[in-house]
């Protein structure tokens, strides 16, 4: 039986070695600290669901005070940048070219019909439906602009109007519905998945390549100690990367943080172990690099983007896809981070996620140790 | 003598391939046991089994008195140095040692004493703060050894410690290991170099996972006493003479050794009359049998003798009588000058060897001559073409075979031939006839539709050579062509090369393998970026004949030349 | 020269075909991803868990609530009677939204006063929240219409979405996914093929043959081009027949665009592979290029929403142009004239990267 002192000396030696290597080899520091910054900034700014300055056409066949007023209403919102067209044909051509996202058509009888109590005025709102999500949002905004204009117009003319029921929306946790607020916490999860996996996968592969793994295995150090030493060292490095990411989220993207910091650290630590262990696992099966590349891509980036609930609502997916999402750890971390950043320390959400992550950590570590042991065979 | 390791009917397979079959042997304490055999013979598997990295499938294995199932008890008593030494290159010498000390739980007092001893012992003391990655091959090897020796092991396992290390460092290593054996440590030294086996106290000879022979090397070679001879060769047609001699019924083995032919007689045969082949004046003189002679005659016992046909080269030699000319060839990598004004010429039909330790510049020189690298200064002419001006034209006239036998492993033999004939621009009838010629002369008919990657080493080597010869090149470049293959394959390979040379094909070969160098007509020794000597193997050996060393080997000559050069440089630096 | 290139191309195909693993890798992951992501990547929200907090028991409130209950978008899972319960349900994500009808609602409606209902949404998933909000708006609007009758409406708004009348996000995602899956395969093939040859030593073998760097490049490009064609058309066909995405444009234009796109991708792959020394590094390079390039392509969210500097960056990204083209050809029958502004930048990227790769290849010999 190994005495505690022996264990600490061995383990201390392994740790020290890992840290010296990290300091000497800039590539692992680059992966852990520089890559999150670059990816987070690029993707954080790159993914945005907030439509701003949508180029929108106003086909004005009416040419009246009313139509000019409506044009002005479009210009006054931050969502639209209106362009005036004389004919629907011209606007259609612009839509085909992609110059505008949509347009409204105000017919020549617009003024008369707006004032007509019997026959309501027709306004055609046409949007480019290719980007369905964006189209829906733009349509909503456009309808809103027209409705607001109409209300004002009526008020100006002191027209009596039957009050419609209106919906007042209140967004909890994210009152200005900035998509950045929920995308950035998710992104941190995605970036950490990639980095954790990359760090260990590359580092372990290098040890095999140079024959140092073999030398370690022949020494009295046990497999668990060797892998643990690696894990702890890169865990510390990964926490650094996480800190950088959180810092960017808070101060560059100005995402609020409402949870408890220690809970964030706890959840992130568990997730980091999961992704480091995943890297270990990839490196042990990555004998054929071509297949491993596909594998890494298949299990990290694309699922983190599509299946983690970061972009798409998991509950709206078909049941079998929902079942698939449960095996990607990123899903649980995305949900935890979004809650911690925007809602606070809500244990009923966090606990099940944390439990799943701990489960993944245990399974992946056990698999990694078992597979590495057999790697020489 | 107590046995440190006992193997009984040991077997190990990976999937369906058997790596070791039925090995029974004992390794004694205080001895150096050579684990000898070609690549893929099972040497590394056996070492890993003993080190406890693998568990045996069959048989029993007892290490230092403990069974294979109880390895943790002895792990601290085993020193293991894997191939390429297992060092952390971005750690310093001292840090590498510290790590090993921590892993073996040495306390402060013990470790400072061990460090001092080992650093002094290996001569690494002045370099303790240097990164391991910046050490030379020889120094890395010593550091790897120091790491393995740190816990005072009772059993030291060295996996190809001398691969890629220059002969001078190799001798140094032997000195250290010999001292260790004197203190009672059992040492296992695996090697593909047969000449190293002769220096061991005992040996285990593996081939294809089976133990072919074991015992003491002197007993092994003694069986050939009186059956080995040297005979002078004529100036011309040396390779033809060798081939014909090898085909004689009473001859077990005939190899070219410089200007002489080395003959091994079959058991019970008398020396045949060779005057027809070598002329009446040449007289055979008896010589001491070597390990390789014994190995070859052993292999021949269960394998049919090789009948490699002499390939007739079909291309015409270049007109001006010079096939390769390097003039002041220089190459810089950044600030580092890898090759410094190397000049030499090779005549058509000559086999010229570039010999030198790793990192000395021989590969760089070689790559410049076959057009893989452009020189920083100087010029290279190959097959009558200036490489600086018409590289593509030159490439049509050269064939190239690399150490790794660069074949497409998942294509069949025929697909490989199709491809290489295509990229050399062969077409129509010429293409099909050349492919047919290759399949026939290299005896590839039986495997033509198999995937190249699944072939045994010997077939791969033949296929690689065949691919390099498809377009009938005037000059053939060979990069370490026979390192790690068994001696029979090497003989077969060189007999083909000899045939080509006789037909006028010029051959340039690089090697750090002394046995390979013996086949060359002339050698150039590259050291520290310069060509420090050139000439025939015999002429080089001749310079180092002394009373104590009447029959110096090429390695002796090599080490001597490098020493002279170093001394000269130091003298120049002092002045 | 053509004979040499032909031999090289033939070899590349044989290599890919004979290796069961690479054959699998080319076919299986793209299909799995298409099926998985095709089903997962939907912005639609259905069956969203809705909580009700109704403080008004009168008829108008009942009518409105029953409309919510009938909607396929919502699924009522809970009823609350105090704000604490609402807060807790939203916090714990038991409900995505809560409909709040205040005590005075029915009275306001009856009196012709401005009546309002509240929708409380979970802003953690603000995309889903936005969509739910628009569904709720639609339900209230239709209730308004039913209540006041046609005559009282002064304005008929007719929103129409061209090319995708039902706002089906699959029509948007799948043409883009076709492009992404194609480039992943192409990049891996080209980047790894050179790196693999380098590891095996066969690359040197090629360099000592009379093949010129340019010829090696052509030999590596043509197979990738063919595989790109097959892959893109296969995925496109699946998108049409398995997922019912319309393909209204020109198949010829689609393939011309794919050809230009694949050339630019091959160029990028070859640049990565001529910088990388090992397959591992090549994979890392592909990874580092692809992850931001996918995001900055407009595949998930509109480029117009990005900040200006990020929009400027997207112009260097061939995926951006091809995603636009693919969607245009699939859904809106893009004409050749309208395709041209997307085609030439891709062609330019292709020329630059292929040229750079050639230069890198020949420089390795210097």
Q: How big is the CA angle at A26 (ends A23 and A32), to the nearest 5 degrees? A: 90
Joined tokens for residue A33: 């600290």
Both tokens of B39, joined, read 């690549």
According to the model, what pLDDT value does residue C150 have? Answer: 42
Which of A47, A292, A302 lies nearest to residue C301, judging by beta carbons?
A47
Cβ of B408 and C207 within 8 Å?
Answer: no
Give the CA angle between residues A309, A310, A314 to the nearest 5°: 15
> Cα–chain-centroid distance for residue B90?
29
Q: Which residue of A has its CA nearest to B73?
A: A220
C6 touches chain B (CB under 8 A): yes
Q: What are phi and psi of A56, to 5 degrees?
A: -135, 135
Judged by a CB distance cut-off of 8 A, whether residue A292 touches chain C is yes
CB B29 within 8 A of CB B154: yes
Give CA B77 to chain center in angstroms: 31
Mutate to test the interface with A, among B56, B90, B147 (most CBs of A within 10 A): B90
Of the candidates B62, B25, B83, B23, the residue with the CA atom closest to the CA atom of residue B155: B62
Give me the percent of chain C exceeding a pLDDT of 90. 22
In a domain, B354, yes or no: no
The share of chain B scoring above pLDDT 70, in percent, equals: 95
**Nearest Cα residue to B372 out of B391, B359, B358:** B391
Instruction: Note whether B204 and B263 are same-domain residues.
Output: no
List the strands of the sheet with B385-386, edge to edge.
Answer: B336-346, B324-333, B377-382, B385-386
B362 and B354 Cβ atoms separated by less than 8 Å? yes
In C155-268 the beta strands, taken as DSSP E runs, fall at 155-162
Among C14, C20, C210, C213, most B C-beta atoms within 10 A, so best to mutate, is: C210
**Position B79 in a domain:** yes
Asked if B53 lies within 8 A of A217 by C-beta distance, the reply is yes
Residue-averaged pLDDT of chain C: 84
Structure tokens at C113: 């006063």
At C152, the pLDDT band (50, 70, 90 cuts) reads very low
In this complex, do A47 and C300 lie within 8 Å of one another by their Cβ atoms?
yes
Chain B, window 252-281: residues with a beta carbon less than 8 angstroms from a chain A beta carbon = none
Give A281's contacts (C-beta < 8 A, 6+ positions apart).
A364, A367, A368, A371
pLDDT of residue C292: 85
Q: Residue B244 to residues A251, A372, B371, B496: CA-CA distances in angstroms?
A: 85, 54, 36, 13
Which CATH number fits the domain that encloses residue B75?
Answer: 3.40.50.300
Q: How high is the pLDDT of residue B336?
A: 84
Q: Do C11 and B415 touch (CB under 8 A)?
A: yes
Does residue B329 belong to any structural domain of this protein?
no
C-alpha to C-alpha distance for B417 and B437, rounded to whole angstroms = 11
Asked if residues C303 and C329 have their Cβ atoms less than 8 Å apart, the reply is no
Please check whether residues B227 and B212 belong to one and the same domain: no
Nearest CB to B425 within list C4, C18, C202: C4
**pLDDT tens digits for B177-213?**
898 888 889 999 998 888 888 889 999 998 888 898 8
How high is the pLDDT of residue B316? 54
Q: Which residue of C has its CA nearest to A347?
A: C92
Q: Which of B302, B329, B351 is the last residue of a domain?
A: B302
State residue A127 phi and psi, 5-degree precision: -125, 160
Do B184 and B29 touch, CB atoms closer than 8 A?
A: yes
Q: Is the pLDDT confidence value at C149 over 70?
A: no
Over the Cα atoms of chain B, what is R_g? Answer: 25
* Sign of CA pseudo-dihedral C69, C70, C75, C77: positive
Instruction: Please report which helix (H) or strand (E) contains residue C99, including its range.
Output: strand C97-101
Q: Distance between CA A358 and CA A352 in Å, rounded?
A: 10
Same domain, B285 and B194: no
**CA-nearest residue of chain A to B85?**
A211
Same domain, B211 and B62: yes
Give the number of other Cβ atoms within 10 Å of residue C275's Cβ.
Answer: 14
pLDDT in tens, C265-300: 999 999 998 888 777 778 778 878 888 888 888 887
Does A154 contact chain C (CB < 8 Å)?
yes
Q: Which stretches of chain A drop beneath a pLDDT of 50?
A: 1
State the nearest Cα–Cα gap between A211 and chain B, in angstroms.
Answer: 5
The pair of three-digit structure tokens given for residue B571, joined into one six-digit string? 């003298």
pLDDT of residue A376: 65
SS (H, E, C) B317-357: CCCCCCCEEEEEEEEEECCEEEEEEEEEEECCCCEEEEECC
Query: What's the distance, CA A19 to chain centroid?
Result: 31
Taking only residues 90 to 119 of chain C, the set having a beta carbon closer than 8 angstroms to any beta carbon of chain A reads 90-93, 96, 109, 112-119
Contact indicator for A286, A206 with CB cutoff of 8 Å: no
C197-221: pLDDT as tens digits: 887 788 888 888 888 888 888 888 9
Kindly report which listed range (A247-251, C117-121, C192-196) carries the lowest average pLDDT score. C192-196
Residue A159, chain B, CB below 8 Å: the answer is no
Asked whether residue B435 is domain-assigned, the answer is yes
Position B237 confidence tier, pLDDT thresholds 50, 70, 90 = confident
Asked if this assembly's ipTM is beyond 0.90, the reply is no
Of B370, B371, B422, the CB nearest to C3: B422
Element (H, E) at B426: none
| Contact residues, chain C, for A312 at CB < 8 Å | 40-43
* pLDDT of A268: 92
From the CA of B94, how many Å to the nearest CA of chain A? 12
Are the Cβ atoms of A24 and B90 closer than 8 angstroms? Answer: yes
Is C39 an 8 Å CB contact of chain A?
A: yes
SS3 B361: coil
With CB atoms and an 8 Å threshold, state whether C116 touches A137: no
Tell whether B448 is covered by a domain.
yes
- Closest CA–CA distance from residue A259 to any residue of chain C (Å): 12
- Residues B330 and B336: their CA atoms lie apart, in Å, by 11
Q: Residues B130, B68: one domain? A: yes
| Right CATH for C48-152 from 3.40.1710.10, 3.40.640.10, 3.90.1300.10, 3.40.50.1000 | 3.40.1710.10
Chains that touch A (3 or more CB pairs under 8 A): B, C
Residues B199 and B233 in one domain: no
Is it the case that residue B394 has pLDDT exceeding 70? Answer: yes
The pLDDT value given to residue C71? 86
Clarify whether residues B149 and B17 are in a common domain.
Answer: yes
Whether chain A has a CB inside 8 Å of the CB on C163: the answer is: yes
Sign of the alpha-carbon dihedral angle for B432, B438, B439, B440: positive
Residues B474/B383, Cβ–Cβ less than 8 Å: yes
- The verdict on B211 and B155 lying in the same domain is yes
Which chain B residue's Cα is nearest to C198?
B406
For residues B34 and B85, membership in a common domain is answered with yes
Residue B196 lies in a domain: yes
If we measure between CA atoms, which residue out of C125, C118, C122, C117 comes closest to residue C144? C117
B518: pLDDT strictly greater than 90: no
| Residue B460 vs residue C318, higher pLDDT | C318
In this structure, the answer to whether residues B247 and B290 fall within a common structural domain is yes
Provide the number of structural domains found in chain B: 3
Directed axis angle between helix A330-338 and helix A179-210, to 10°? 140
Between A and B, how many CB-CB pairs are < 8 A?
A: 84
Contacts of A9 in chain B (CB under 8 A): 102, 105
Q: Give phi and psi for B376, each to the nearest 5.
A: -75, -35
Nearest chain B residue to A210 by CA distance is B86
A263/C contact by beta carbon, under 8 A: no
**Which residue of B87, B88, B141, B190 is the best one to mutate when testing the A interface, meaning the one whose CB has the most A CBs within 10 A?**
B88
Q: How is residue C350 written in tokens?
A: 């292709």
Name the residue with higher pLDDT: A372 or B434: B434
Beta bridge partners of B32: B187
Ramachandran region, residue C293 (left: φ > 0; alpha: ψ -120 to 50; beta: rest): alpha
Would you say residue B224 has pLDDT above 60? yes
The predicted structure's pLDDT at residue A221: 81
Using CB atoms, pick whichever of B52, B53, B105 lies closest to residue A9: B105
**Which of B472, B498, B513 is at the close of a domain?**
B472
Last residue of a domain, one of B216, B231, B255: B216
Residue C119, pLDDT > 80, answer: yes
Q: How are beta strands B385-386 and B377-382 bridged, if at all?
A: antiparallel
Provide CB contacts within 8 A for C97, sequence distance 6+. Answer: C48, C49, C50, C51, C74, C119, C120, C121, C122, C129, C132, C136
For residues A282 and A277, give the distance between their C-alpha atoms in angstroms, rounded to a whole number: 9
Q: Determine, for residues A20 and B90 on separate chains, whether the beta-carbon distance falls below 8 Å.
A: yes
Q: Where exactly are the structural domains of chain C?
A: 2-41+168-363, 48-152
**Which domains occur in chain A, in start order?**
4-47+178-373 (no CATH), 54-156 (3.40.1710.10)
Confidence band (pLDDT; 50, 70, 90) for C260? very high
Residues B419, A298: Cα–Cα separation, whole Å: 34
> Confidence class of residue B75 from pLDDT cuts 50, 70 and 90?
confident
Instruction: Identify the H or E element spanning B19.
Output: strand B17-28
* pLDDT at residue A35, rounded to an integer: 83
What residues have CB less than 8 Å from A169, skipping those under 6 apart? Answer: C118, C119, C121, C133, C136
What residue of C is the nearest CA neighbor of A174? Answer: C123
Report the distance separating Cα B375 and Cα A144, nearest Å: 73
- For B374, residues 6+ apart whose C-beta sits below 8 A from its C-beta are B368, B388, C365, C366
B86 CB within 8 Å of a chain A CB: yes
The residue written with tokens 């807060």 in the block is C87
User: Cα separations (Å) of C128 from A44, A182, A316, B516, C161?
Assistant: 18, 11, 10, 73, 20
Domain that holds residue B277: 223-302
What is the reported pLDDT for A1? 47
B113 in the same domain as B43: yes
């Amino acid at each position: 039986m190994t005495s505690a002192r022996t264990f600490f000396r061995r383990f201390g030696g392994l740790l020290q070695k890992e840290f010296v290597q990290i300091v000497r080899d800039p590539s692992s520091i680059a992966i852990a600290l520089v890559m999150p910054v670059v990816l987070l900034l690029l993707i954080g700014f790159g993914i945005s669901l907030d439509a701003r300055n949508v180029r929108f056409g106003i086909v004005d066949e009416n040419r009246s005070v009313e139509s000019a007023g409506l044009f002005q209403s479009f210009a006054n919102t931050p969502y639209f940048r209106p362009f005036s067209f004389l004919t629907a044909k011209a606007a259609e051509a612009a839509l085909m070219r992609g110059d505008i996202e949509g347009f409204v058509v105000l017919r020549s009888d617009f003024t008369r019909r707006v004032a007509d109590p019997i026959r309501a005025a027709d306004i055609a709102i046409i949007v480019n439906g290719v980007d369905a999500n964006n189209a829906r949002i733009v349509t909503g905004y456009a309808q809103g602009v027209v409705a607001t204009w109409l209300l004002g117009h009526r008020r100006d003319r002191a027209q009596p109007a039957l009050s419609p029921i209106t919906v007042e929306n209140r967004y909890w946790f994210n009152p200005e519905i900035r998509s950045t607020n929920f995308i950035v916490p998710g992104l941190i999860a995605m970036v950490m998945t990639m980095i954790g996996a990359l760090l260990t996968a590359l580092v372990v592969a290098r040890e095999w390549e140079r024959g140092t793994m073999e030398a370690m295995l022949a020494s009295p150090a046990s497999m668990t100690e060797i892998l643990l030493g690696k894990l702890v060292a890169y865990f510390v490095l990964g926490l650094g990367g996480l800190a950088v990411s959180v810092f960017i989220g808070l101060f560059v993207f100005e995402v609020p943080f409402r949870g408890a910091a220690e809970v964030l650290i706890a959840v992130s630590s568990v997730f980091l172990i999961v992704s480091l262990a995943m890297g270990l696992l990839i490196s042990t099966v990555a004998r054929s690099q071509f297949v491993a590349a596909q594998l890494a891509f298949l299990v990290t980036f694309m699922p983190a983007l599509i299946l983690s609930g970061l972009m798409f609502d998991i509950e709206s997916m078909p049941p079998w896809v929902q079942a698939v999402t449960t095996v990607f750890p990123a899903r649980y971390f995305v949900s935890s981070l979004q809650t911690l950043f925007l809602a606070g320390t809500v244990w009923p959400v966090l606990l099940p996620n944390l439990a799943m992550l701990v489960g993944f950590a245990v399974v992946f570590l056990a698999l990694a140790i078992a597979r590495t042991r057999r790697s020489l065979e | 003598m107590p046995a440190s390791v006992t193997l009984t009917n040991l077997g190990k397979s990976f999937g369906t391939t058997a790596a070791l079959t039925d090995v029974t042997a004992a390794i004694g304490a205080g001895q150096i046991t050579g684990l000898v055999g070609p690549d893929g013979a099972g040497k590394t598997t056996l070492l890993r089994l003993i080190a406890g990295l693998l568990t045996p499938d069959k048989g029993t294995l007892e290490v230092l008195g403990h069974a294979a199932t109880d390895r943790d008890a002895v792990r601290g008593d085993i020193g293991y140095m894997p191939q390429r030494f297992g060092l952390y290159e971005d750690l310093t010498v001292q840090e590498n040692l510290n790590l090993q000390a921590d892993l073996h739980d040495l306390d402060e007092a013990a470790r400072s004493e061990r460090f001092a001893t080992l650093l002094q012992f290996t001569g690494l003391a002045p370099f303790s703060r240097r990164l391991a990655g910046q050490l030379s091959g020889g120094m890395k090897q010593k550091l790897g050894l120091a790491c393995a020796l740190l816990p005072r092991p009772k059993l030291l396992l060295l996996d190809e410690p001398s691969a890629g290390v220059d002969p001078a460092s190799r001798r140094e290593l032997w000195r250290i290991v010999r001292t260790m054996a004197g203190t009672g440590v059992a040492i296992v030294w695996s090697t593909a170099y047969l000449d190293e086996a002769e220096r061991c106290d005992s040996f285990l000879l593996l081939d294809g996972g089976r133990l072919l022979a074991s015992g003491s090397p002197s007993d092994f070679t003694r069986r050939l006493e009186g059956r080995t001879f040297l005979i002078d060769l004529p100036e011309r047609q040396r390779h033809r003479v060798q081939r014909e001699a090898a085909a004689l019924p009473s001859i077990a083995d005939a190899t070219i050794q410089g200007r002489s032919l080395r003959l091994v007689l079959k058991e019970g045969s008398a020396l045949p009359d060779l005057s027809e082949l070598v002329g009446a004046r040449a007289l055979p003189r008896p010589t001491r049998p070597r390990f390789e002679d014994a190995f070859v005659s052993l292999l021949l016992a269960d394998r049919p003798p090789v009948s490699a046909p002499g390939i007739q080269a079909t291309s015409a030699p270049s007109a001006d009588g010079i096939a390769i000319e390097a003039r002041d060839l220089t190459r810089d990598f950044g600030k580092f000058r890898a090759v410094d004004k190397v000049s030499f010429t090779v005549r058509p039909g000559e086999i010229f060897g570039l010999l030198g330790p790793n990192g000395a510049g021989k590969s760089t020189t070689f790559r410049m001559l076959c057009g893989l690298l452009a020189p920083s200064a100087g010029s290279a002419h190959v097959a009558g073409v200036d490489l600086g001006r018409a590289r593509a034209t030159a490439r049509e006239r050269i064939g190239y075979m690399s150490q790794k036998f660069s074949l497409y492993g998942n294509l069949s033999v025929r697909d490989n031939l199709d491809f290489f004939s295509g990229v050399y621009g062969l077409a129509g009838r010429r293409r099909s006839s050349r492919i047919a010629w290759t399949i026939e002369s290299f005896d590839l008919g039986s495997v033509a539709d198999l995937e190249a990657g699944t072939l045994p080493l010997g077939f791969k080597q033949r296929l690689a050579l065949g691919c390099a010869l498809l377009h009938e090149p005037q000059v053939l470049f060979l990069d370490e062509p026979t390192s790690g293959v068994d001696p029979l394959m090497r003989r077969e390979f060189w007999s083909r090369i000899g045939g080509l040379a006789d037909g006028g094909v010029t051959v340039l070969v690089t090697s750090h393998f002394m046995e390979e160098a013996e086949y060359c007509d002339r050698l150039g020794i590259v050291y520290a970026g310069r060509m420090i000597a050139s000439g025939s193997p015999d002429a080089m050996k001749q310079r180092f004949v002394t009373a104590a060393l009447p029959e110096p080997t090429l390695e002796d000559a090599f080490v001597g030349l490098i020493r002279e050069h170093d001394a000269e440089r130091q003298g120049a630096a002092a002045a | 020269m053509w004979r040499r290139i032909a031999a090289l191309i033939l070899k590349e195909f044989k290599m890919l075909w004979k290796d069961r693993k690479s054959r699998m890798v080319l076919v299986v992951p793209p299909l799995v991803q298409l099926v998985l992501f095709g089903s997962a990547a939907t912005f639609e929200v259905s069956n969203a868990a809705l909580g009700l907090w109704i403080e008004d028991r009168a008829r108008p409130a009942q009518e409105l609530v029953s409309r919510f209950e009938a909607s396929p978008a919502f699924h009522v899972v809970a009823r609350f009677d105090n704000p604490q319960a609402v807060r807790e349900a939203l916090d714990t994500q038991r409900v995505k939204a809560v409909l709040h009808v205040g005590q005075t609602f029915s009275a306001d409606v009856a009196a012709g006063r401005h009546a309002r209902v509240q929708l409380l949404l979970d802003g953690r998933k603000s995309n889903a929240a936005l969509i739910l909000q628009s569904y709720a708006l639609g339900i209230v609007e239709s209730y308004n219409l039913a209540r006041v009758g046609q005559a009282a409406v002064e304005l008929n708004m007719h929103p129409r979405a061209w090319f995708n009348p039902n706002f089906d996000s699959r029509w948007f995602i799948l043409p883009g996914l076709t492009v992404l899956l194609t480039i992943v395969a192409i990049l891996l093939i080209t980047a790894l093929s050179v790196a693999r040859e380098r590891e095996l030593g066969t690359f040197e073998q090629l360099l000592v043959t009379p093949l010129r760097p340019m010829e090696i490049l052509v030999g590596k490009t043509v197979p990738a081009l063919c595989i790109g064609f097959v892959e893109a058309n296969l995925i496109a066909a699946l998108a049409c027949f398995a997922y019912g995405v319309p393909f209204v444009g020109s198949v010829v234009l689609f393939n011309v665009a794919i050809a230009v796109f694949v050339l630019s991708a091959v160029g990028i792959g070859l640049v990565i592979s001529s910088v990388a020394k090992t397959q591992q590094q090549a994979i890392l390079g592909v990874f580092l290029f692809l992850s931001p390039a996918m995001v900055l392509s407009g595949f998930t969210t509109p480029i117009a929403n990005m900040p200006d500097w990020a929009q400027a960056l997207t112009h260097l990204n061939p995926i951006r142009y091809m995603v636009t083209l693919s969607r245009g050809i699939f859904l809106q029958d893009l004409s050749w004239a309208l395709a041209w502004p997307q085609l030439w930048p891709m062609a330019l990227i292709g020329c630059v990267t292929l040229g750079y790769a050639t230069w890198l290849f020949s420089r390795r010999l210097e």
